């Protein structure tokens, strides 16, 4: 009878692994696309970068200011901003801390550097440090945003593009002026006049971005806020402003697209495990292709013992079965040691313990005839034990093995 190989063919193996191949290729494509998209968006510079010509950059307003005679000084750290302002004496400071690098102490110091400070899209720490009465107002729902305030730069602009972020300012708060109002005391621009200088909070960065600077009065507002002095310090905080407390983390060293791609791969892996690892129902018993009878197994093992002259192994198999049955007939537990079984059998059959030990353990057959004689002795000892352990007046012992004749090897 020919045997069918269970080793999967190349075609079957490829079919089984097709899902993982497709998933791997898909993940690779996502990573490559994310890399190029991130590279295309970040190669021009940071958001509101003075030299960034991308839609999110601010190169347009910077170039116009330079054409009007304003000296624009881009800096990357708070110390550089302080040095640049101290060098000229009077300057306007523009700040956009999109990543939140500055601490509360640094923000407090920031508010005292220049006579005119403009902060685009301030975060919670910036509001708490520089304008604690101001909160977040959500996104503007007004169809049009007009100045409606006495701030000169806002009045000259007239309007700005609607739909951006807003800041909340309680009515009647002293020292603050809100411009371009929306609903529920929200404003797009808030100015605070203090002894240290004027701080102008612009809620949305679209006022300065290249793609929105030419719409409505955005350009007029940006130019009037930033061009009030001869020098403009353009400060975008970086990692250099973060205090060094140890080596940089892995997240700080890897590009920004790595984390989203890793999360996507984890989600795909979990979905694949749930999909491919689900059970299709309760387990069922499957019939074996071949049924082997017990006597065939016994005969096959006996022939192997005979062919290999494994007499001791064969007689040990007979002894182990006989010892178990004799212990059961004598009422001993399954965990009874062999010495206890030998003593009990010797007592029941009135035989010397040494003789019982020789039959069950000690003798080693040197020939086939000796093994057959020893097998007969084991069989006779088991029958004697069964008869001795049987209560008087009962039938044959159920533990006595039936006489089936001897199988010749």
Looking at the structure, tell me whether residues 220 and 366 fall in a common domain: no
pLDDT of amino acid 294:
62
Q: 234 and 201, same structural domain?
A: yes
Between strands 116-120 and 135-139, the pairing is: unpaired
- In this structure, the answer to whether residues 38 and 54 fall within a common structural domain is no
Q: Do strands 135-139 and 165-168 pair parallel, antiparallel, or not at all (unpaired)?
A: antiparallel
Are 38 and 176 in the same domain? no
| Residue 33 pLDDT | 81
In a domain, 6, yes or no: no
- Is residue 3 assigned to a domain? no
Beta bridge partners of 179: 189
pLDDT value of position 38: 58
> In 3D, which of 265, 360, 242, 220 has the Cα closest to residue 27?
265
- Is 365 inside a domain boundary? yes
> CA–CA separation, 127 vs 267, rounded Å?
37
Q: What is the spatial distance between Cα 29 and Cα 396, in angstroms, rounded to a whole number?
A: 81
Contact of 330 with 341, CB cutoff 8 Å: yes
Q: Kindly give, in sequence order, each residue whose CB lies less than 8 Å from that of residue 205, ignoring residues fewer than 6 positions away.
A: 47, 48, 56, 96, 120, 121
Concatenating the DSSP letter of every residue in 309-344 gives T-HHHHHHHHHHHHHHHHHHHTT--TT--HHHHHHH
Containing structural domain, residue 338: 294-389
For residues 88 and 151, state if they share a domain.
yes
Q: What is the DSSP letter of 351?
A: -
Q: Which residue has the tokens 């601010």?
A: 58
Would 267 be classed as within a structural domain?
A: no
Q: Are 207 and 221 in contact (CB under 8 A)?
A: yes
So what's the pLDDT on residue 6?
A: 46
Residues 62 and 222 sit within 8 Å (Cβ to Cβ) = no
* Predicted local distance difference test score (pLDDT) of residue 288: 64
Do residues 65 and 211 both lie within one domain? yes
* pLDDT given at position 124: 92
Do 57 and 102 fall within a single domain?
A: yes
DSSP H helical ranges for 43-162: 59-67, 78-88, 104-110, 124-130, 152-157
Domain presence at residue 320: yes
Q: Which residue has the tokens 């102490």?
A: 105
Q: What integer pLDDT is reported at residue 25 of this predicted model? A: 81
Q: Based on the domain organization, do 176 and 53 belong to the same domain? A: yes
Query: In the chain, how many domains are there?
Result: 3
301 and 376 share one domain:
yes
Beta strand pairing call for 176-181 and 197-202: unpaired
Q: How far apart are CA 80 and CA 77, in angstroms?
A: 5
pLDDT, block means (10 residues), the chain with 409 residues: 48 68 81 67 74 92 94 94 92 93 91 92 93 91 90 94 91 90 91 88 93 92 93 93 73 78 91 76 68 65 68 79 83 82 83 84 80 84 82 55 42
What phi and psi, each to the nearest 5 degrees, are found at residue 164? -95, -170
Which residues fall within 8 angstroms of residue 155, CB to CB, at 6 or more apart? 147, 149
Q: How many residues does the chain have?
A: 409
Residues 121 and 212 in one domain: yes
Pairing mode of beta strands 92-95, 231-235: parallel
Looking at the domain assignment, is residue 275 inside a domain? no
Q: Rounded to an integer, what distance in angstroms lies between the CA atom of residue 377 and that of residue 362?
A: 13
Contact 31, 38 (CB under 8 A): no
SS3 content of the chain, % helix, strand, coil (to 5): 45, 15, 40
């Amino acid at each position: 009878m020919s045997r069918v190989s269970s080793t999967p063919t190349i075609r079957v193996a490829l079919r089984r692994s097709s899902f993982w191949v497709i998933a791997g290729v898909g993940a690779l494509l996502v990573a490559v696309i994310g890399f190029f998209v991130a590279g295309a968006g970040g190669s021009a510079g940071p958001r509101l970068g003075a030299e960034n010509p991308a839609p999110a950059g601010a190169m347009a307003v910077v170039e116009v200011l330079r054409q009007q005679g304003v000296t624009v000084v881009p800096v990357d750290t708070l110390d550089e901003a302080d040095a640049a302002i101290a060098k000229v004496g009077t300057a306007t400071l523009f700040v956009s801390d999109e990543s939140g690098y500055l601490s509360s102490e640094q923000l407090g110091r920031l508010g005292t550097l220049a006579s005119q400070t403009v902060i685009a899209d301030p975060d919670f720490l910036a509001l708490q440090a520089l304008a604690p009465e101001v909160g977040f107002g959500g996104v503007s729902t007004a169809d049009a945003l007009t100045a409606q305030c006495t701030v000169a730069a806002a009045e000259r602009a007239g309007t700005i593009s609607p739909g951006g972020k807003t800041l909340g300012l309680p009515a009647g708060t002293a020292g603050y002026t809100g411009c371009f109002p929306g609903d529920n005391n929200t404003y797009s621009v808030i100015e605070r006049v203090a002894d240290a200088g004027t701080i102008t909070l612009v809620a949305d960065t679209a006022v300065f971005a290249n793609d929105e600077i030419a719409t409505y009065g955005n350009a007029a507002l940006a130019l009037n806020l930033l061009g009030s002095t001869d020098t403009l310090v353009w400060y975008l905080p970086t990692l250099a402003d973060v205090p060094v407390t140890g080596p940089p983390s892995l997240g700080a060293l890897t590009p920004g697209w790595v984390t989203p791609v890793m999360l996507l791969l984890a989600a795909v892996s979990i979905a694949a495990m749930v999909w491919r690892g689900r059970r299709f129902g309760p387990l069922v018993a499957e019939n074996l292709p071949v049924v082997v009878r017990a006597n065939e197994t016994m005969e096959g093992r006996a022939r192997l013992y005979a062919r290999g002259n494994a007499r001791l192994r064969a007689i040990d198999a007979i002894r182990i079965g006989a010892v178990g049955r004799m212990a059961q007939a004598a009422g001993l537990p399954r965990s009874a040691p062999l010495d206890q079984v030998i003593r009990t059998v010797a007592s029941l059959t009135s035989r010397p313990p040494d003789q019982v030990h020789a039959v069950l353990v000690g003798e080693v057959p040197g020939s086939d005839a000796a093994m057959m004689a020893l097998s007969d002795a084991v069989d006779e000892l088991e029958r004697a034990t069964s008869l001795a352990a049987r209560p008087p007046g009962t039938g044959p012992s159920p533990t006595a093995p039936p006489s089936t004749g001897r199988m010749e090897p």
